[in-house]
Structure 1
């Protein structure tokens, strides 16, 4: 029986990034089309605005503070709606540090993709504030994580340090200046040469992911 090809997708994104919600929806559409491929999706923390109030900020207040208003979100909503990113109940602009801590914990337990989807859905579709510890503990329960472990991880400096290390790596070492940002390459433990990894910046259409995966598969077959 032929072994299925494995493709790795490294994703740098922020929970406090509405375009990352759109980008995730489009990536998931592409991966669902490629049923013959096994995917390793690895999420990396990226914090766009370290100055966000630790408790989160109200949606409109944040937009007024940063950009003078939320008029720019009209294009975002129109673009994301066909992909299922409807922004139906967007109440908060959260500080994402604690949310990233929960995400990295979930990823260690093989639930990274589910956690990322849940935290983004909480933020943009369900009116939740993922800066709030109680909200994150509830998210952890929904993911099937141990509540005591979640609380300990969110309270530990180790979890915060891991988020800041990821953030620093993306910005300083890889030169990522905007998210979402994706690197598609061979998976299954094979690092491959740099030329076999393809970067996609921004909320790319599903077809762009399919094309990048196709290039990786062609090189693996060749």
Structure 2
């Protein structure tokens, strides 16, 4: 089964959604899964160097009180996923383009899951600025990505353009919020859904897949 996931590295709901998908898939251990992650930029106009986190929350949610309520809801949703959010440690809201470029390297190396978990943990658990090359290099080293391939990606002139193009493609498909999941290119759902909801979509996609006629050649 192919599962396409649209996500952003600075989206806490995407972190929760990734864990909930894993919990759902754990209930179907016999199926072969091909999970593909696709960039979606929640803040496409974010300055390259990011902005102060408090300023960002004020602008996005219209005040500290409303922002606190939203973040509390995310933290509550994380119960049962082994995620511990440390929002107070985050001092800067980063531009996420380069973190997606790091994940492009991880995908080529077959290390997407570990690298994405490390990026999420660095930002949401430790408050590290994942918009900086220094932090991304450190994360790459932590998960064992080849240093030369990471350097080559960040030296590639088209690297940023590729992420922006992928983001545009997601919007063209009608994706306007993340996480979004597409199962076998047929069934989609948005939001950090509970594992049982995702499991129903997984089963529906599997049932449809099994029922597809086999054409003799």
Name the TM tier (shorter chain).
0.7 to 0.9
Aligned-partner Cα distance in 2 for 1:200–1:66: 24
2:10 pairs with 1:16: yes
Deviation at 1:157, TM superposition (A): 2.3
The equivalent residue for 2:59 is 65
Q: Map of 1:50-199 to 2, 5 A cutoff?
A: 50-67=44-61, 68-69=63-64, 70-71=67-68, 72-88=70-86, 90-91=89-90, 92-172=92-172, 174-185=173-184, 197-199=186-188
Q: Which residue of 2 aligns with 1:42?
A: 36
Alpha-carbon distance in 1 for matches of 2:74, 2:54: 15
User: TM-score, structure 2 length as denominator?
Assistant: 0.88
Given candidates 21, 33, 39, the residue that maps to 2:27 is: 33
* Contact residue 105 and residue 149 of structure 2 kept, 8 A: no
- Counterpart Cα distance in 1 of 2:102 and 2:142: 12
**Equivalent position to 1:217, from 201, 206, 210:** 206
Q: Distance in 2 between matches of 1:34 and 1:65?
A: 42
Structure 2 CA distance for aligned equivalents of residues 64 and 96 of structure 1: 19
Unaligned runs of 5+ in 2: 212-217
> Could you tell me how far 1:94 is from its partner in structure 2?
1.7
TM-score between the two structures when normalised by the length of structure 1: 0.86
Report if the CA contact (8 A) 2:8-2:42 is conserved.
yes
Listed one character per residue, the Cα deviations across residues 25-79 of structure 1 (whole Å, up to 9, x for unaligned) are 1111111221111110100011011222322334323212322222221211112
Structure 2 counterpart SS, 1:130: coil
Over aligned residue pairs, what C-alpha RMSD do you find? 1.6
Alignment gaps of 5+ in structure 1:
1-6, 186-193
**C-alpha distance in 2 between matches for 1:57 and 1:46:** 19
Once residues 56 and 96 of structure 2 are traced to their aligned partners in structure 1, the CA distance between those partners, rounded to angstroms, is 14
Look up the match of 1:203. 192
Contact kept? 1:41, 1:113, Cα under 8 Å: no
